[in-house]
Amino acid sequence: MIHLFYYENIEWLEGENILDTSGFHVAVVGATGAVGNQMLKTLEKRNFPIKQLTLLSSARSAGSTVTFKGKEWVVEEAKPESFIGVDIALFSAGGDVSKRLAPEAVKHGAIVVDNTSAFRMDPNVPLVVPEVNEEDLKLHNGIIANPNCSTIQMVAALEPVRKKYGLTKVIVSTYQAVSGAGAVAIDELQQQSQAILSQEAFEPSVLPVKGDKKHYQIAFNAIPQIDKFDDNGFTFEEMKMINETKKIMHMPALKVSATCVRLPVVTGHSESVYIEIEQDSVSVKDLHEILNEAPGVTLEDVPEEQIYPMPAHAVGKPDVFVGRVRKDLDEANGFHMWIVSDNLLKGAAWNSVQIAESLLKLGLVK
Ligand code: NAP
Ligand code: 3JN
């Protein structure tokens, strides 16, 4: 089956209640967005123990309804008082909303799992990918940050390699889907594709960055800009990958470099990753062995059978897929690999729900 769109069914794990409890009051901030939509589907699929659900958006969508577990739920405008009685608040409504409302949620006694970059580099906020650094959750002060989608899938694949063989250098180039830029970017790709195929005129208005000086065609194109430019020539998306990788892996001295590119793919980020490891004489077979056993990772690497990960195959699945593992031809300790994942699931909604499940498992939710 060919998957094109992000909102198709999530195909995985019918969850069981992970706690024998009457459940928690959960709030989803940004419930009408591309990430919020997948957040609700993931909570539903996992049968997350919810006793009360509060769905929040801006005033624009307040009063609209969203389906959860076969029932229509009314969305409300997010305000400081929306968090009274909330146990767990999942935020994906942009950094400004998180900066304004996450502290209010914490004041009201909620634990916040924040999908934005607002608090990721705050030393008092754990930045967590459960397969990599679940223990960091124990240091939380009310807010836990979910990393950038491109960072998450890369560190999930690299952590088992680091653990066994050490890691000294990472150079990544990304091939990112438009759903990472929100529901408006998905619409823009669809409209432009239709316009081009029907030879109609169109005016780009969303990508690479909504509200920036220039907008470019994304259909049948590749745009080497995700987020705005920093003064050092890297984009903020690239700087997020660099800084977040070092924080999550507890390796401030790790050499990391990134180039982030937007492609006309609806969902599923791909990454070409070059690494250098500490240990000598490691083979591709050695890396296959550890990747095969790594939690949350699926190895798809049989070149002679043309088996390798692709975004169209990753959509709706929770795992990080790794393939094309090969030794560099010049650098003895250098390896290349291709890493693909559903950016809205492991890159956002699933990682956030996993963090919430870890918080329950570790007894960190009061
Ligand atoms: P989206 O499709 O544009 O949805 C944005 C959501 O935020 C909508 O529900 C929107 O509500 C809500 N919102 C906007 N302004 C608000 C306000 N002032 N108060 C309350 N809610 C507000 O965007 P998305 O792709 O879902 O992404 C949302 C955010 O998640 C991003 O800005 C980013 O910070 C984060 N994100 C993280 C990752 C990651 O890598 N982990 C990936 C993608 C996104 P309305 O319907 O009322 O407009
Ligand atoms: O573009 C992508 O593929 C991922 C985008 C993530 C994103 C989009 C808008 C704002 C972020 C993020 O999570 O880093 C943010 C942000 O919160 O800074």
Atom of ligand 1 nearest to the CA of 179: 25
Does one domain contain both 170 and 134? Answer: no
42 closest CA partner among 54, 28, 22, 56: 28
Instruction: Note the pLDDT of residue 275.
Output: 99
Asked whether residue 266 is assigned to any structural domain, the reply reads yes
Instruction: Note the pLDDT of residue 128.
Output: 98
42 closest CA partner among 88, 9, 2: 9
Question: Does residue 285 come out as left (phi exceeding 0), alpha (psi in the -120 to 50 range) or beta?
Answer: alpha
In whole angstroms, give the CA distance from residue 252 to residue 155.
Answer: 14
151 closest CA partner among 269, 40, 265, 261: 269
Instruction: Note the pLDDT of residue 11.
Output: 55
Does one domain contain both 172 and 283? Answer: yes
In whole angstroms, give the CA distance from residue 74 to residue 295.
Answer: 37
In whole angstroms, give the CA distance from residue 157 to residue 161.
Answer: 7
Which residue CA neighbors atom 7 of ligand 1 most closely?
93
Does one domain contain both 277 and 212? Answer: yes
Does one domain contain both 142 and 188? Answer: no
Atom of ligand 2 nearest to the CA of 179: 3
Does one domain contain both 337 and 214? Answer: yes
| Tokens 């000086």, residue located | 213
CATH code where residue 185 lies: 3.30.360.10
Instruction: Note the pLDDT of residue 2.
Output: 34
Distance 288 CA to ligand 2 centre (A): 31
Does one domain contain both 34 and 100? Answer: yes
Which residue CA neighbors atom 23 of ligand 1 most closely?
182
Instruction: Note the pLDDT of residue 10.
Output: 56
The strand pairing partners of 143, in sequence order, are 112
Instruction: Note the pLDDT of residue 6.
Output: 45
5 to 10, 59, 165: CA distances (angstroms): 11, 27, 38
CATH code where residue 114 lies: 3.40.50.720
Catalytic residues: 149, 269
Instruction: Note the pLDDT of residue 22.
Output: 73
Residue 98 in contact with ligand 2 by CB distance below 6 A: no
Does one domain contain both 209 and 260? Answer: yes
Q: Identify which of 58, 61, 342 to mutate to test ligand 1's pocket (most ligand atoms within 8 A of the CB).
A: 58
Residue 121 in contact with ligand 2 by CB distance below 6 A: no
Atom of ligand 1 nearest to the CA of 32: 9
Does one domain contain both 207 and 268? Answer: yes
Does one domain contain both 133 and 220? Answer: no
Contact criterion met (CB below 8 Å) for 250 and 133: yes
Asked whether residue 9 is assigned to any structural domain, the reply reads no
| Cα dihedral: 259, 39, 120, 299 (round 10) | -50
Does one domain contain both 43 and 89? Answer: yes
Asked whether residue 262 is assigned to any structural domain, the reply reads yes
Does one domain contain both 141 and 195? Answer: no
Neighbours of 364 (CB within 10 A): 13
The one-digit pLDDT tens for each residue of the chain (366 residues) are 333 444 445 555 555 444 335 799 999 999 999 999 999 999 999 999 999 999 999 999 999 999 999 999 999 999 999 999 999 999 999 999 999 999 999 999 999 999 999 999 999 999 999 999 999 999 999 999 999 999 999 999 999 999 999 999 999 999 999 999 999 999 999 999 999 999 999 999 999 999 999 999 999 999 999 999 999 999 999 999 999 999 999 999 999 999 999 999 999 999 999 999 999 999 999 999 999 999 999 999 999 999 999 999 999 999 999 999 999 999 999 999 999 999 999 999 999 999 999 999 999 998
Count of domains in the chain? 2
Does one domain contain both 176 and 324? Answer: yes
Find the domain containing 255 and state its range: 151-343
Distance 98 CA to ligand 1 centre (A): 10
Distance 144 CA to ligand 1 centre (A): 17
pTM value is 0.95
Which residue CA neighbors atom 11 of ligand 2 most closely?
116
Instruction: Note the pLDDT of residue 18.
Output: 41
Instruction: Note the pLDDT of residue 21.
Output: 56
